[in-house]
Structure 1
Amino acid sequence: MRIERQSKRFQPNKPSTIAQAAVALMSGRMKEAISAELLRIEAEHSARQAEAEEIRSELLSRGDIQRFWDEKLNDEKNRGLDVERLYHMEAKNLEEEEINQDKLYTEYLKEKSAMDCQKQLLLSLKKEVDEISEKVASERVIYIDERLVVQNLLKDLEFKLEELLDTKSTLEAEKEALQILR
C-alpha cells in the first residue's frame, strides 16, 4: 500500500482518489471562472477609461477645465496680493515700532545722563557736606578748648572780682572809719 501511495505522489497529473479528482475538476472550473471574471473587470476598466477620456475631452472642449484652473490661478493671485499687502503693512508697523523703540532709547539715554548728572551732583554735595562736617567737628574741638580757657579766665576774673570787692569793702570801711575819726 505504501508503494502505491508513493507512486501516486510522483504522478501529480493523475488523480488517485475521488477527492483529488474533484479538486482537479474544480480547479479547472475555477480557472475558467477567474478568467471570465478578469475579462469582465478588464472590459469594465476599459469602458470607464473610455468614459473618463470622453468626459475629459468634453470638459476640454467646453473650457471647464481651463476655467477651473483660471479661477484657481486668480484665487492664488488674489491670495498672493493679500499676503503682499499684509507683508507691506507689517513691514510698515515694524518700521514704526523701530522708530518708537529708537525714541524710547533716546529718552532712556537722556534720563540716564540726567541721573548721572544728579548722581555726580549728589556726590559733590556729599563731599562738600563731609568737608563741612569735618570743619565743624574741628571748630567744635577748638570751641570746646576756647570755652574751657574762657571758663578758666572767668573763674580767675570772678576770683579777682571777689578780691577787689573784698578790698573795696575793706577800703570803704577804712574810709568810713577815717571819716568818723576826722
Structure 2
Amino acid sequence: MDVKNICPESSPGLFMDMLAGERSILRKVFGQSKRLQPNKPSTKAQAAVALTSGRISEAIYNELTRLESENVSRQAEMEEMRSELLDRGEIQRFWHEKLNEGRNHGVEVEKHYLSAINELEQEKTVQEKYFADSLKEKAVMDCQRQLLFSLKGEINDLSERLASERRIYVTEQCKLQDMLSDLQSKQVGMLDTKSMLKAEIEALRTLRSWVEDEARKSQARAKVLEELGKRWRWDDQASLPSTSETEK
C-alpha cells in the first residue's frame, strides 16, 4: 500500500478503519485494492459509498428523514393554500384575467398579423413589379444576346472572307513580285540593249559623218575630174584643128 503518501493526521483513522475488516469503509469504497492513490480524485459513486458508510450514515438518514418531513409539510401547506384560493375565487379571477390577457394578446396578434399581411401584400406588389421589370430586362438581354450572336456570325463570315481575300492578296502579291522580278530583269536587258543601240547609233553617226565626208570628198574629186575631163576634151578639140591644118 502507498500509506507513505497519505497525510500523517489521517493515519490513525485509516488504521482504525482497516481494523474493521469487511465493515471497513475503505473495503466498501475501493474493494480489494491495495493502492489508495490519495492524489487521484474520487468518483461520485465512491464519495456516495463513503458518505453512506460508517457513523455518518445515521446522520445522512436523519437528514433525509427531515427533508422528507419538510416536503410533506410543504405539500400540505400548498394544498391548504389551494383550497383557500378556491374558496375565495381568486383562482377563477386569476384565470379570467389570464383569459382576458390572452384575448387582448390575440387581438394585438391579429392586428400585427393583418399589418404583416398588408406589408406582405405591398411587398408582393413590389416583387411582382420587380419580377415584371426583370422579365423585361431578360427579354432585352435575350434580344441583345441574339443580336450579339448574329453579329458574331457576321464577324466570323467577315473574318473568313478577309482570310480568303488575304490569301488571294498574298498570292497576287507573290505573282506581282515574280512579275516585278521579270520586269526588272527585262528592264536590265532593255537597258543593256539600249546602251548597245546607243553605241550602234553613235557608230552609225560616226559612219554617216565619215560617209558624208567621203561623199563630199568624192564629189570634190568628181568635180575636179569633171573639170579635168572638160579641160581634156577642150584640149583635144583644140588640138584637132591644128593637126588637120598641118596635115593639109
Does TM-score exceed 0.5, indicating one fold?
yes
* Equivalent residues, number: 156
Tell me which amino acid in the other structure corresponds to 1:89: V
Q: Which structure would you say has the larger Rg?
A: 2
How far 1:67 moved relative to its partner? 4.0
Corresponding residue of 1:8: none
How far 1:35 moved relative to its partner? 4.5
2:148 counterpart SS class? helix
Say if 2:92 is the partner of 1:53. yes
Say if 2:79 is the partner of 1:42. yes
Alignment equivalent of 2:204, drawn from 167, 170, 181: 167
Change (3 A) 1:52 1:164: same
Q: Distance in 2 between matches of 1:119 and 1:31?
A: 97
Alignment equivalent of 2:178, drawn from 124, 141, 153: 141
Alignment of 1:24-43 (within 5 A): 35-43=72-80
Corresponding residue of 2:148: 111
TM-score, normalized by length of structure 1? 0.66
Tell me which amino acid in the other structure corresponds to 1:69: G
Q: Distance in 1 between matches of 2:68 and 2:152?
A: 101
How far 1:124 moved relative to its partner? 0.9
How far 1:34 moved relative to its partner? 5.6
Q: Distance in 2 between matches of 1:160 and 1:32?
A: 154
Tell me which amino acid in the other structure corresponds to 2:178: V
Say if 2:122 is the partner of 1:85. yes
Q: Distance in 2 between matches of 1:163 and 1:33?
A: 156
Alignment equivalent of 2:134, drawn from 94, 97, 110: 97
Alignment of 1:123-138 (within 5 A): 123-138=160-175
RCO higher in 1 or 2 (8 Å CA, sep ≥ 6)? 2
Q: Distance in 2 between matches of 1:86 and 1:139?
A: 75
How far 1:59 moved relative to its partner? 6.7
Structure 1 spans left out of the alignment, 5+ residues: 1-19
2:165 counterpart SS class? helix
Change (3 A) 1:99 1:180: same
Tell me which amino acid in the other structure corresponds to 2:92: E
Tell me which amino acid in the other structure corresponds to 1:145: D
Say if 2:206 is the partner of 1:177. no
2:130 counterpart SS class? helix
Tell me which amino acid in the other structure corresponds to 2:210: A
CA deviations over 1:31-61 (Å, ceiling 9, x no partner):
876644432122124445652322324676x
Tell me which amino acid in the other structure corresponds to 1:52: I
What root-mean-square deviation, in Å, do the aligned CA atoms of Structure 1 and Structure 2 show? 3.2
